[in-house]
Structure 1
Amino acid sequence: MDHVKATTDYYIYEDSYNYSSETGSSQSSSVPCNQDGIMDFTRSYSPVVYSLVFVLALVGNILVLCVLMRYRTSQTGGTCSFSLTDTFLLHLAVSDLLLALTLPLFAVQWAHQWVFGMAACKISGALFSLNRYSGILFLACISFDRYLAIVHAISTGWKRNTCHAQIACTLIWTVCMGLSGVDIAFRQVVEVEVGRSRDQGLLVCQTVFPHSSVQWKVGMPLVNLVLGFGLPLLVMLYCYIRIFRSLCNASRRQKRKSLHLIVSLVSMFVLCWAPYNSFQLAESLKKLGVISGGCQFERTVDIGILVSESMGLSHCALNPLLYGFVGVKFRRELTRMCKGLLGQRFYPGMKEWGGQRKTRRPTRSFSSAESENTHSVMA
């Protein structure tokens, strides 16, 4: 049986045990570290966390999609009249929702074992990778669109050409589908050890790379680091720093609101994904021999990857809060939708929450500035 890495995005390698042609038996190439505690922790931790993230992401992103589609039907001019920001937000919500839908499968895996077959293993693994990559790249696109709208104030021209956003989204989905092809090719249902007895096994869905392949061992985590964290973070930092600098001449109240939102957006992204990518980098450096470590180091990294990955996955549940519910217009649309479904008498206080003093010109905060330039439902 192979050594398992207890996350949804793990890789094992076929050279865990070498075959001896002289004895005709399987021999361990090295004495493996005891992973019993890690597996016990995984089987108690992962099902609970994945189920919680699934519920929160499901509810939040369905609300975002419903509000967006309701807002979209009230606009005229067809698909390309929809603002760039709302187009990216729509694709982000779809991506986060599809990512969340894979989590119950992996929750069942760690609570029991993988019981869904090989085809479901490959498809769910590919969906997990596809939507994790695409969701983060859509966040970078939203940041860039805000940068264009506020810093360069060119949104009027872009509003008439928002089909460009559809092209950008198509390119993102295409690239991410190519990256998820790794899961289609290498995902397998394998039996791994659980406990000290080699007769006690657990079926799990894993990515199994060919033996003696340093490129695969190190290449995929580095791709995750660059496309799934480093590049989007640089884009977000550049765009939001330029946005905040452009608002330095604004009123104190506006600047304070802008700063709070910008710090919240960047901080949430970094706090969710930086720990996971740091542990992945440490593991890659160890495989390259750049750093050394024994069983305690491997144990720390494995548990760190497990816990920090769940922090990263929680980003798909937090996205609706910051990228949707921060906007007055979004809340107003949600209020109208709820009133239409359940009746106004169930929501006596929703008018104030959805947007007080409608006749008053809104303060030119970060979100309202974007509204005037992009007419986004996020405002």
Structure 2
Amino acid sequence: MTPAPPRRLVDIFVLNLALADLVFVFTLPLWAVAAGQHHRWPFGRVMCKISSYIIAVNRFSNIFFLTCMSVDRYLAVVRLMDSHVLRSSRCVHLTCGVVWGVSLLLGVPSLVYRHLSEEDDGSSCIDDMDSLFFKAMILLTGFLTFMLPVLIIVLCYGSILAKLRKHSISAGNQRAEARRRHSLKIVFTIITAFLVSWLPYNVFKTIQVISSMSDTSLGDAVQENLSRGLIISSCLAFVNSCINPAIYLSLDKHFRRSAAALCLNCLGHGDAQHSYVSSNSFSNATSESLGSVPSRGRLFSLTQKT
């Protein structure tokens, strides 16, 4: 039998994140066909709206669930004694429900204000940039789904690293310090991936909206470059939906062992009912970074609780 890691509450966020990505993947063939036809949309108005809505909901839910995961790790490591209620199974499920509800609600403007632009050589599925309300919603969602999450994620992981640093110093051994540095590498990589994935899209989109709201003429060349930038940055933004597992796989030994166990179970070489694997390897990196001295006992248990 291939052993599998115990189930943790953070796995609930991971499962919901995976569900959002899976639904998003179903829309990719449509956009691939459109891209192959020079961004002409051959699937009609209804599919234009629905696929755009799914992408918007995926965008919001992905960022919110990543933020929830960082808050969960903060509570587990820094505020364990004060977080029993917040880290209960009921509260986590309620949080997931709220995230889905908010994401579905914030995606409605994309459903309403996405339309087909009729041109001589075909139709394009684009945003209705004539609506002042829609442009205001773009700016609002840019704040809610980028600036605010970045602030929360940086604060949470910064507090975690400060806690680990304090513990490694008090522990006074080189092994604890080495593991703290490894945790720092994982955290820095996660935050960098998040910023690299989403910063260009938010910058291009904000420039587009502000120039439209102020009736500023950017010129044909600038408009063309802006449109290209939005296309490229949109693709880059969605890379974030799949890059975190790659980060964990390359940097965390526990995640690699868990992935190997899952593959063996899927191939029938293990007990399928024990094949649940957590994708949040930072919790394991956190627990590993606490050293081997006796005083690590309470902190070590932080990331192992459900």
Assess if the C-alpha contact under 8 Å between 1:187 and 1:208 holds in 2: yes
Structure 1, 368-377 or 243-252: larger mean CA deviation: 368-377
In structure 2, the partner of 1:131 is: 58
CA–CA separation in structure 2 for the residues paired with 1:119 and 1:376: 46
Contact conserved, 1:85 with 1:376, CA < 8 A, in 2? no
Report the equivalent of 1:97. Answer: 22
Structure 1 equivalent of residue 142 of structure 2? 225
Shift of 1:190: 3.3
1:319 to 241, 244, 252: 244
Q: Give, in angstroms, the shift of residue 255 of structure 1.
A: 1.8
**CA–CA separation in structure 1 for the residues paired with 2:34 and 2:223:** 23
- Answering whether residue 161 of structure 2 is matched by residue 244 of structure 1, we say yes
Alpha-carbon separation, structure 2, partners of 1:130 and 1:159? 25
Structure-2 change in CA distance of 1:189 and 1:302 (3 Å): closer
Q: Does 1:214 align with 2:106?
A: no
Mapped to 2, the partners of 1:245 and 1:150 lie a distance apart of 11
Pair 1:151–1:291, CA change in 2 (3 A): farther
Q: In structure 2, what is the Cα distance between the partners aligned to 1:279 and 1:285?
A: 10
- State the match for 2:151 in structure 1: 234
Match of 1:62 in 2: none
Q: With structure 1 as the length reference, what TM-score do the two structures score?
A: 0.64
Counterpart Cα distance in 1 of 2:263 and 2:305: 20
Q: CA deviation at 1:268?
A: 0.5
The size of the alignment, in residue pairs, is 273
Corresponding residue for residue 162 of structure 1: 89
* 2:46 aligned partner, one-letter code: A
One-letter amino acid of the structure 1 residue matched with residue 108 of structure 2: G
Contact 2:179 2:288 in 1 (8 A): yes
Task: Specify the SS of the correspondent of 2:203.
Answer: helix
SS of the aligned residue for 2:122 comes to strand
Matched with 2:114 is 187
8 Å CA contact 1:188–1:207 kept in 2: the answer is yes
Q: Label 1:190 to 1:290 Cα distance change in 2 as closer, same or farther (>3 A).
A: closer
- Deviation (angstroms), 1:173: 0.6
Compute the displacement of 1:238 (Å): 0.7
CA drift at 1:177: 0.8
TM-score by length of 2: 0.78
Measured at CA, do residues 243 and 292 of structure 1 come closer, stay the same or move farther in structure 2, by a change above 3 Å?
Answer: farther
Query: Which shows bigger deviation, 181-190 or 367-376?
Result: 367-376
- Name the structure, 1 or 2, with higher relative contact order (CA <8 Å, separation 6+): 2
Query: Helix, strand or coil for the counterpart of 1:297?
Result: helix
Q: Does structure 1 retain, via aligned residues, the 8 Å contact 2:53–2:108? A: yes
Q: Which runs of 5+ in 1 are unaligned?
A: 1-69, 76-81, 193-198, 345-361
Give the Cα separation in 2 of the matches to 1:184 and 1:134. Answer: 16
Gaps of 5+ in 2: 169-175, 270-285
Structure 2 vs 1, CA of residues 307 and 245 (structure 1 numbering), >3 Å: closer, same or farther? same
Q: Are 1:281 and 2:206 counterparts?
A: yes
